[in-house]
Amino acid sequence: MDQVRGGLAEDDEEARAQLDQAFERFERRQPVLAAHVAHALGSPLDETALALGYFLALAVWLGFERAHGDRVTEIETEEIEATEELLTLDEQLRRADPADALDSDDVIAMEQPHLLNFVHEHVTATLDAHADDIDVDDVHAVYRVILVQILALSYAVQLPTGYPVGKTELMA
């Protein structure tokens, strides 16, 4: 994520061209996921929340692209729907148990700690910088679509060739 952060921080013509190319690769390699993100961010949102959403969506994609390259399979509509349902169910179960100290994003952070730290850092910075004029509900909507993107991409990563498979996976 440090490489992604560095690439996104630059503000010159070459950097903008590289970001445009990265977004085109995202739309080409993950058309359904890119459309899902665009649809979620296409609803009426606060301008700052919208900018945060596009920034985080691109950063998440770049993180997966750099870390896993061609091992990320194309995500289908059913997989996004299943991921949405899984996240909703997990949120409901956690709200129903007041003794549960973990939120859904805490569980995601166990598997993707650097990525969630990056997302949290930028969400917090945005909220701090625009505390008086940002719609917090819009930021939450953006945060949720980014969580779905992270989960969907995580599920889409193929194991490297020769990676040991567990007994339960062999039986499936």
Evaluate whether residue 171 is within a structural domain.
no
Evaluate whether residue 86 is within a structural domain.
yes
pTM for the whole structure = 0.83
Evaluate whether residue 97 is within a structural domain.
yes
Number of domains in the chain: 1
Q: For residue range 63-105, what is the model confidence (pLDDT) as tens digits? A: 999 999 999 999 999 999 999 998 898 888 877 876 766 677 8
Evaluate whether residue 48 is within a structural domain.
yes
Residue 12 lies in domain: 2-160
Q: For residue range 129-143, what is the model confidence (pLDDT) as tens digits? A: 998 899 999 999 999
DSSP string, 61-126: HHHHHHHHGGGBPPPPHHHHHHHHHHHHHHHHHHHH-TT----HHHHHHHHSHHHHHHHHHHHHHH
